[in-house]
Every structure is written in C-alpha cells, then in structure tokens.
Chain A
Amino acid sequence: MRDFASTSLASTLADAVPARRTDGVWRSAWRRFRRDRTGMTSLAIVLAYALLIACTACGLLAQRWQDEVGVPDAPPSFLRSAPTAPPGAALPASTSAPAAADVDISDVDPLAPRYKEWNERAAQYHARTAPIAATLPLGADRLGRDVLSKALKGTQISVSVGVLAAIVATLIGATLGALAGFFGGWAGDFVEWVYNVVTAVPDILLFFAFAAVFGRGISTLVLIMGLTGWTGQYRQVRAEFIKHARREYVRAAEAIGASASSRMFRHILPNVSHVILVRMSLMVVNFIKIEVILSYLGLGVATDQVSWGTMLAESQSELILGHWWQLAAATTAMAVFVTAFSLMADAWRDALDPRLRQ
C-alpha cells in the first residue's frame, strides 16, 4: 500500500497538538514597522486625518462650510490687532423702518398712512440671521466663510480624491501589469503598446482632454487621474511578474497543476503585494498634488465644492490684500498630510521588503 496513513507512528506524530503559529509576513512586517519611530508618528498623523475625514464625511464636522459666519476676510482670532474689518462692512442687521426723517413730510407723503401697517407686517417676520463674527479661529474668506471648515471639507475631498484615484490607477496598472508580465507574447505586446501610447502624450494634455470630455467634479477627477496615472504601477508590476513567473516556486506550482490564474493571484500576487502597496501610497501623495494643480487651474472639483486646490486658487487674489490665512490653512493641512503619508509609505516599504530584513 502506498498510503501509509495507517502506519501508527505517522499518525501518532501527526495528531500531535497544533503547533505554535509563526508570524505571517504581514504580522512580522507590522512588528518591524512598529520599531520605526518616524513611521509610527506618521501613521498616527495619517490616522488622525482619517478620523477627521470620517467625521467630515458623516456631517459631524464642517457641514455648513458654505455659510457666511464671519465678516468677509475676517482675520484669525489669534490676531486681535490685525486689520479690523472696515466699519461699513459689518452692517447691523436692522429690520426697522428707515429712521424718522428730520423734516416731517408725512402730510405730503402719499405713503404715510401705510407706514404703520408696513411696520406691523414687517414685525411679524423674524429674519434669523446668525450673528456674524468679527474674527474666526482661522479667519474667513472673501465671502465670510469659515476657513477652518473649508480646510476640513477640503481635506476630505482632496484626500478621498487622491485615495480613490490611486485605487483606480492601481487596479488598472496592476491588472494590466500582471497580465502582460505573466503571459508575455502578443498579449504583453498589446498592453505594452497601449502603455507606450498613453505615456507618449504629456500628462497635462491628457488631463485637459479628459476634463474637457467629462466636465468637472470629483468622479471626473478620480477617472482622469486613474486613467492617466496607472503607467508607473503597470511597469513595476509587469517587471515583478516577469521576474516571479520564472522563479522555481511558480514552476513548482505549475508542476502540481495550479492553473494560470491561481499562479498569478495566489502565488505571485502576495509576493509582489508590498511593491504594489508602496507604489499605491506614493501615488496617493502624487494624486493629491495633481488634484491641487488641476483645481487651481480650474479643472478640478465643481464650483460648489471645496478642495485644497480651490482654496489655493482663491487665496491668490486674497494674498494681494494681505489676507494670508486661507493660503496658510490649506498649505499646512496639505503639507502635514503629504509628508506624513510619504514617510509612512517609506516606513512600510522598509518593513515589507524582505531583503532589508536584519
């Protein structure tokens, strides 16, 4: 009998207690990541941003960012001495009739008998205008909107656009790269041809072209960046798949009868996933910057939305008047996030790359 399953020695040993589980690749990567202090700090910052974005998206924060809550161009509260709003700007909200004239002309005024009636009628309406603040925590923009709320909402939109676009680009790039790298041949040649055509056109031209066709909006931005930004991911995944497809463990999988899709996705993909992941996080950073540029150029989010890019575009005219707070808020929010995210991606790459293990 070739089935030795019944041999007592084998089965006694085989039924031994389940052994301790050794750390998987991701767990040990996390262990290495935890040792990286910069990585952990940047991860904390990114998580804090994520929390803010989640709150904003649920409407807990900055829901009424479009309201006029301050005087136009109100300065930040910590700048008490800063340029006070011109007196005329803060018109007291008055519902009373025009103040009595110096000269009584009621006898010649044909409307005089109706003033009283009008006043009574007007008194029935209660215009509920919120008190307009002279200063706001981070100041206000030209329309008196709270810069802090705008920055929060802008963060939500910019980051989600960057992340979504990176996911779209990764899906396109990784799938095409896996196919081209694994199969090669005419399929590989075809994808390579598409890649060449896309990369031959300058990016900014592609952005304009796509924007012109799709119009403005978040989904357009995600599509534009996803459709143009997959090339780098594609090249890298393709190279990795070419390399791995020839390795013996993949051959061994073929020898035991694993199908092509199983070899591609069960065997090779986990082995190149760290490359994809790191590339994707670098793309997020890049796409956020591109979104800012596109919004600045007027190709970005719709006019009733706010993003870091639109804030920067608005602050251009404000800066001339010395109103720097919107610029500062947008750039700080962006710089902190982008830096933290890049550092985190770097730390992940170090933690995930088995060659750097020591």
Chain B
Amino acid sequence: MTTPPLLKVDNLQVAFRLHDASGRSRRIEAVGRGEQGVSFEVPANTTVALVGESGSGKSVTAMALVQLLPRNAECAGRVLWRGDDLLRAPPAHMQRLRGHEIACVFQDPMSSLNPVLTVGEQIAEPLRKHLLMSRAAARARAGELMAEVGIAEPRRRLDTYPHQLSGGQQQRVMIAMALACEPQLLIADEPTTALDVTIQRQILELLARLQAQRGLAMLFITHDLGVVGEIAQQVVVMRQGTVRERGTVSELFDDPKDAYTKALLACRPRLDERPRRLTVIDDLLADESSGIDLPLALRAPQADANPRRADDDDPVVLQVDGLSKSFWLRDGLFGRSEFKAVQDVRFTLRRGHTLGVVGESGSGKTTMGLTLLRLHDAASGPLAGRVLLHGHDLLALAPADRLAMRRRIQIVFQNPYEALNPRFTIGQTLAEPMAIHGIGIDAPARERRAREWLVRVGLDTEAMHKYPHEFSGGQRQRIAIARSLTLSPDVLVLDEAVSALDVSVQAQVLNLLKDLQDELGLAYIFISHDLAVVRFMADDVMVMKDGRVVEHRRTETLLAHPQDDYTRRLIVAVAQRPGPASRRPAGAATS
C-alpha cells in the first residue's frame, strides 16, 4: 500500500495508576508490557479487527485512540491520525475530531443511549454540533440516517425513546449516530456482544454494508474470532496487553503462526463437528513455553467419532409434561392480565443425558429452567403441568417436602460475578447447602467435603478462605458448579452457564461439565443461545420461541435437517460464521 495509513498506532503503551491497600501508588500496565508497546495500522477503506479476551487491553487501546480514558491513565507512544499525533493533541482538537472524523459504537446500546432524550434528538446532536445544521435540517438528516441503518418507519421512530426500541434497533440508532457526521474511521467496540444471535448477524451485515458503501475505515473490536472472518480484512490478535499476531484474515485463519491464535481458533466449539473434548488454550501455550511446536492437528483432541453414547436405555430421571408458567401483569389499577412465558413444554431426560434448550432472549427458556426448580414466587402467576423427578411430581409437592426435592435438582446461573455471595468465603459458600440438607456429620466433615469438591472442579484448596472477588469469572463459575454438586443432584440446570465467559475459559468449563457428567451420571438441562456450544454439549435440542417449543429432536438431526423456519434462521446465523476450516476468501466480506 503506497498511501499512508489513515491511522497508525506506534508503540502505544497505556498504564493505570492505582492506589493499593497500603496507600502506595502502583502502575498497572493495560496495554504494552515493559518496553514493548502495541503497533498496528488502519488503512483507509479497510476493516481491522482487534481480537482478544477480556483483559487483553483491546478496549483500552481503542479508548486511548480517541482519548476517552479515565484520568489515572498514562499513555506513551504515538497515535498518528493522518500525520497528527492524537496523544499530544489539545483536548479541544480531540473534541472536534471525536464524532466528526472518528466515531465510536459501544457494546451495550441501552446504556450508551440517553434514556430521557428521543432517538431523533440524539442523532441530531452531532449534526448540529459538528456540522452546525439547523434544527429542521438535522431532523431531516436524522430520518435519512435511520432509514439507512435499516430502521422501519424512520419518521415515526424519530420521536421514540430508547426504551421503546429493541436491542437491535438501539444498536442501529447508535450506528446512525456514529455515522451522522460522515466519519472516516468507525471504532466499534464489541457492538454485537450484547445482542441475540440472529440480531448480531443483522448488525454485522449492516456494518459490513455501510463500510463498503461509504468507504469507511473500521476498527472492529471483538472477543469472537468467528465474527472476524465475516467483517474484517486484517486482524490483530492481542493477549495480555501485547500483540500476538497481525495479518490478513486469510493468513491468520489458514496458517496461524502464534500458539495463542491457534488456541483461540481451536477452542471454540463448532457446528460441523463434535469433539469429545475441546482444546484448551493452556494445552497449546504449554507447547509454546516448552519450545515444542507440535502441529495443531496432533495436539487438538480429535473429533471423537463415538463419544459416550447417550443410551436410550438409561433410566429416566426427569419427565416434564405440559409445563406452563404465566406471570400476572398489572393492568390498570386493579386489573391484571396473564402473560404466558412458558407454554406446554414436554420432555424426558435420562440419566447422563443433556438436553439443550435454545432460543433468544424472551423465548422463555430461562423461565422454564427456574420453573423446574420452583424459583418463582407463587403469587407471580399460575403454574400448570407435571414435573416428575423419580416419579414424584415437583409441582404438587407440599412446601415442607420441597427441601428434599431441592437436593435432586440444582441450577448454575449465567453471571459468575453475581451468583456468589460476596460476603461469604468460598468455604462458607460450599458448606452452606450441606448444612441446610444435613449432609456430613459436623462442620469439619463438611469442610473436608467442600475441599474435595474444590479440587474436583479444578481449584486449589487455598480458595476455601478467599472471597469471590479474588477469583476470575471462570473460577467463580467452577465454584458455583461445585456448590450445586455438593448436594449430589441428579439433574443440573445450566442457565447460560458459560455465556459470560471468554472462549478459552468457556472451553475449560465445558470440558469440566462433560467430565463431571461422565463420572457422576448427571443429567443436564443446558440452556443457551449459542448453538455451537449446545451442539458440543447436548444429546437432544429443544428450540423455544415465544414460550413454546418449536422443535425438539436429536442434536444431529436438528442441525442437519431443521424443520422449523425459526430453527433454520438460528442455524444460519451461527453457521455463516467462518471457522478456520470454512471461511470466505478475504475481501469477500466487503461485497
């Protein structure tokens, strides 16, 4: 490329100054390690993807480019925007630049939009500020932009407030705002992460289309390598504040040089194969440190043609028949209306089997899981159907008998940062369920068991006296799993249990779940929006939409021959993501 790049990041380093417990100030390196900083370029009319897991410094890098870092950040190096060094630009200059030449789209559209201003006002704001448009002209232009980002009835929607729009529409509005002043560079920080799978797909397509139409340069930040192939031409892989690998999409996917990139590519479950276990990043990085570079194919556990077959003769542990759950909605002063969250769900779960439950947010899959455990308030709405666990109807149990039932069916929640009591040590957290159910003779016996479970889920016994905030997301999820298992349940409901985790950590937790299932014969109800993960875990899949089951079949059959239209859309949304084996040729993404 002969023309100079639009944006050139040269040896960027960012550190945060923090005060630790003893009052000394510490420097935490967020981007760059030691002398080595981050360098990459964004040429005009090109999409560069910045890929990395949480803590890799990718978002900090992006915020450093536009100088939106908190006060305690210290930057070094150079960020050249068409020759000007942005790190040394005066604040007024940056303010003119932001929104005008460089625009940003953030992860969570709901919290990025101002809830008390209408969507139209928010899109018009940059127009009036940067382009000095009149009120009427800005409004007209806002309408055009809304149409351009694919919002139906843009005129009417101009006067709506953010909460009246769906998540996908909100993200479209954010994009419209970003594009309002015709920027040359769009920084998109995980713009699809908070959205449903099918909506993600639409937003990605929209961004790719706009990038091609307008000749934008785009810096696309994501943790998901799968998305990258679709939208980017160049990729920068970051880990722990440094760039691990740079290259075009085809170079990176065909022939990854760096062990970490290889691991990232390998550890994500895929739709087209079902390995016995997932590759874990540590496996591959261990090779790197030992200096032996085995070919990926040798290291990666091979797709097991014959995984532990879920046997149809296994005893039935849970039989659900006509399960329905409604919520009362307030209607006027005294009236109430019924909202049917789950309708007529039926399935049979055998020992050692996994039932995958797939659907988008609002499809009732989480409500279904909570209903099985009776975690809803009785007053919240009517409940119907039968849930037979070893022949006892859970829904007909007297409150006094429910405690015994709780032992047999347990749940692991989505958010590992929320599910543990922050004021309990891990030891207390693990001992509590045993104390409630009278497992173990005395406290020391329970503590011993708790230690065993910790070891079992792959944690150190040192953890016993620590508090949840001292652990990473993956470790906390292991603790939550251990807590459920202390009761030796037969059925474990996993409600989006790995959705909040990084890909590599996700692979580890999924492997752990598989091992536990093999060893203890657990039956899982695996609720997820991610078909690839469900494919890895589940024997049967149930697809839910608007509270109803639209399809329920064997995983392989369902993926190979989806009957329902909605299922097909879900599969397409995932399947089009090129993995390393089936990616589009580079450059095709723009067309």
User: Do the two chains bind?
Assistant: yes
> A interface vs B, CB < 8 Å?
2-5, 9-11, 13-16, 18-22, 24-25, 28, 31-32, 35, 185, 247-249, 251-258, 262, 267, 270-271, 354, 358
Contact-residue size bin, chain B (C-beta under 8 Å from the other chain): 35 or more
Tell me the complex Cα distance, A267–B422, Å. Answer: 9
Contact: A4 with B519, CB < 8 Å? yes
- B379 at interface by CB-CB < 8 Å: yes
Mark B residues whose CB is within 8 Å of A: 18-19, 21-23, 370, 373, 375, 379, 402-403, 406-407, 410-411, 413-415, 418-425, 432-433, 436-437, 448-449, 451-452, 454-456, 460-467, 469-470, 480, 483-484, 487-488, 519-521
Contact between A35 and B455 (Cβ–Cβ < 8 Å)?
A: no
B392 nearest CB across to chain A (Å)? 16
Check B465–A19 contact: CB distance below 8 A: yes
Query: CB within 8 A of B413: which of A32, A35, A251, A270?
Result: A251
Given contacts A271-B423, A354-B422, contact A14 B452 (CB under 8 A): yes
Please give me the 6 A-B residue pairs with the lowest Cβ-Cβ distance, nearest first. Answer: A19-B462, A256-B433, A14-B451, A257-B406, A248-B418, A270-B423
- Residue among A4, A9, A254, A271 making CB contact with B421, cutoff 8 Å: A271
| Interchain nearest-CB distance for A108 vs B (Å) | 94
Q: In whole angstroms, how far apart are the Cα atoms of A343 and B321 in the complex?
A: 61
Report the separation of the CA atoms of residues A19 and B487 in the bound assembly, to the nearest whole angstrom. 24
Contact A35 B448 (CB under 8 A): no
Q: How far is the CA of A10 from the CA of B456 in the complex (A)?
A: 7
Output the nearest chain B residue to A354 by Cβ-Cβ distance: B422
Q: A11-B452, A270-B423 are in contact. Are A252 and B21 (CB under 8 A)?
A: no
**Cβ–Cβ contact B465 & A21, under 8 A:** yes
Nearest B residue to A9 by beta-carbon distance? Answer: B455
Task: Say which residue of B402, B419, B449, B462 sits within 8 Å of A252 (CB atoms).
Answer: B419
Determine how close the nearest CB of chain B comes to the CB of A64; give it in whole angstroms: 48
Instruction: Report A255 CB to chain B, min CB distance, Å.
Output: 5
Contact in complex: B452, A5 (CB < 8 Å): yes
Contact B413 A28 (CB under 8 A): no
**Residues of A close to B420: CB separation below 8 A:** 249, 252
Specify the chain A residue showing the minimal Cβ separation from B465. A21
Tell me which residues across on chain A come within 8 A of B375, comparing CB atoms: 251, 254-255
A101 to B423, CA, bound (A): 89
- Give the nearest-CB partner of A14 in chain B: B451
CA A270 – CA B487 in complex, angstroms? Answer: 25
- Chain A residues with CB under 8 Å of B488's CB are 2-3
> Cβ of A20 and Cβ of B418 under 8 Å apart?
no
Shortest A83–chain B CB gap in Å is 53
B19-A249 in contact (CB<8A): no
A252-B480, A256-B410 known; A22 and B465 CB under 8 Å? yes
16 of the cross-chain contacts (CB-CB < 8 Å) are A4-B456, A10-B455, A11-B452, A16-B461, A20-B465, A22-B466, A22-B470, A25-B423, A247-B418, A248-B413, A249-B418, A252-B411, A255-B484, A256-B487, A258-B432, A267-B421
Q: Which residue of A lies closest to B407 (CB)?
A: A257
Q: How far is the CB of B472 from chain A (nearest CB, A)?
A: 15
Chain B residue contacts of A254, Cβ below 8 A: 375
User: For B379, what are the chain A residues with a Cβ–Cβ distance below 8 Å?
Assistant: 185
Distance between Cα atoms of A9 and B420 in the complex (Å): 27
User: Do the beta carbons of A358 and B21 come within 8 Å of each other?
Assistant: no
Chain A residue with the shortest CB-CB distance to B449: A5
| Alpha-carbon distance A14/B519, docked complex (angstroms) | 19
Task: Write out the residue numbers on chain A whose beta carbons fall within 8 Å of the beta carbon of B480.
Answer: 252
Known interface pairs A4-B456, A257-B406, A257-B407; 4 further A-B residue pairs with C-beta atoms within 8 A, sorted by A's residue number = A251-B370, A251-B419, A253-B421, A254-B375
Contact in complex: A257, B21 (CB < 8 Å): no
Contact A4 B410, beta carbon cutoff 8 Å: no
Q: A251 — nearest CB in chain B belongs to which residue?
A: B375
Do A255 and B465 form a contact, CB below 8 Å, given A4-B456, A5-B452, A10-B456?
no
Given contacts A267-B421, A271-B422, contact A255 B411 (CB under 8 A): yes
A284 to B411, CA, bound (A): 44
Residue of B nearest to A185 (CB): B379
Chain A residue contacts of B18, Cβ below 8 A: 358
Known contacts A5-B452, A251-B375, A256-B410: does B19 contact A358 (CB below 8 Å)? yes
The answer to whether B433 and A257 have CB atoms under 8 Å apart is yes
Contacts A19-B464, A248-B418 known; A256 to B406 CB distance under 8 Å?
A: yes
Are A31's CB and B432's CB within 8 A?
A: no
Question: Could you tell me if A25 and B467 are in contact, using CB atoms closer than 8 angstroms?
Answer: yes
User: Which residues of chain B come closer than 8 Å to A249, judged between CB atoms?
Assistant: 418-422
